[in-house]
Amino acid sequence: MKARIRKLATFLEETQNEMGRSVNPPSRRAAAVAVIENPCAGKYVEDLSELIAIGEELGELLTQRAVAALGISAPAAESYGKAAAVGENGEIEHAAAILHPKLGTPVRKVLGKGAALIPSSKKRGGMGVVLDIPLGHKDAAYVRSHFDGMEVRINDAPRANEIMVAIAITDSGRPLARVGGLTKDQIKGEDGLR
């Protein structure tokens, strides 16, 4: 493992009821988060290939962890998202290096599918920073019922020389979704959009 991991965390949320209405089956989503050392902290590094490689291995590890937390078979995953928070001695570009070049391929490999862009967010911040991981349907980005976000935070991360990397996976859309748009049973699955 290239990443020096200090901590792994998983968050599993299950919504059973909203405004007194039962959500049946419950809407479930999981986030897996790694807190790693930032090898590029404290100095300007031109070549970020070390972080790109870390992104690739975390793509596999965190997707596996999130799917395991949900307790579903990987192909049953419906939406996904990714995010990173860089500690104060790093740059936002470090988050980009982890998230964008190589993290997606192993995510899709674990899930067996995933034609849609993996929605993402990134920021720089101190310990306890809130990371809002955007969520979208994995096979068709326009599925409106699956536009969502999941909040995660870890009180002692990221330290100044660390990066917090998160992947969120769900087995469903928003609880009681009812604002129309493309539904998941209308997915054509050709272009990742519809």
- Which residues, including other chains, have CB under 8 Å from residue 67's CB and lie 6 or more apart? 30, 74, 77, 110, 111, 169
Closest approach, Cβ 122 to other proteins, in A, equals: 19
Cα gap 158→135, rounded to integer Å: 22
Closest approach, Cβ 5 to other proteins, in A, equals: 6
- CB closer to other proteins out of 69 and 187: 69
> Which H or E run contains 163?
strand 162-170
3-state secondary structure of 25: strand
- CB closer to other proteins out of 8 and 74: 8
- CB closer to other proteins out of 46 and 178: 178
- CB closer to other proteins out of 2 and 7: 7
State the DSSP code for 84. E
What sign does the dihedral 93-162-52-153 (CA atoms) show? negative
Closest approach, Cβ 23 to other proteins, in A, equals: 9
Closest approach, Cβ 188 to other proteins, in A, equals: 33
Residues making contact with other proteins (CB under 8 A): 5-18, 69, 130, 151, 154-155
